[in-house]
Amino acid sequence: MSYQPEPDTEQELPKLFALKRRLVSFKNQRPAAFWFRTWLLTAVIVLPVLLMSGFEGFQRPSHKALLAISVTGWVYPFFLWIKQRKERDQ
């Protein structure tokens, strides 16, 4: 039996890993902006579906979790933003 090494996904998918590096660096440099944009994307996807289908489409626990994130997800980026402002002002 010959040795088959694991494929190097970073070489096979360079654009995907370049995007991953950009996202990780953006998340580390500006966490409030990253989490706000994540929440905004979730809300833009979930809330129109909720308006079109009603609560009948959100019976599974995972759907309810997405709904909770889309409704209350602005709290964490707002907290991070206030924390950064306090650190910057001191």
Tally of structural domains, the chain = 1
Q: Is residue 39 part of a domain?
A: yes
Q: Is residue 18 part of a domain?
A: no
Could you list the residue range(s) of the whole structural domain that residue 64 is in?
31-89
* Residue 77 neighbours by CB distance under 10 Å: 19
Q: Is residue 11 part of a domain?
A: no
Enumerate residue ranges in the chain where pLDDT < 70: 1, 57
Amino acid residing at 85: R
Q: Is residue 37 part of a domain?
A: yes
Q: What is the model's pLDDT at position 90?
A: 82
The whole-model pTM stands at 0.69
Q: Is residue 72 part of a domain?
A: yes
Q: Please, are residues 55 and 7 in contact by the beta-carbon 8 Å criterion?
A: no
Q: What is the model's pLDDT at position 1?
A: 59
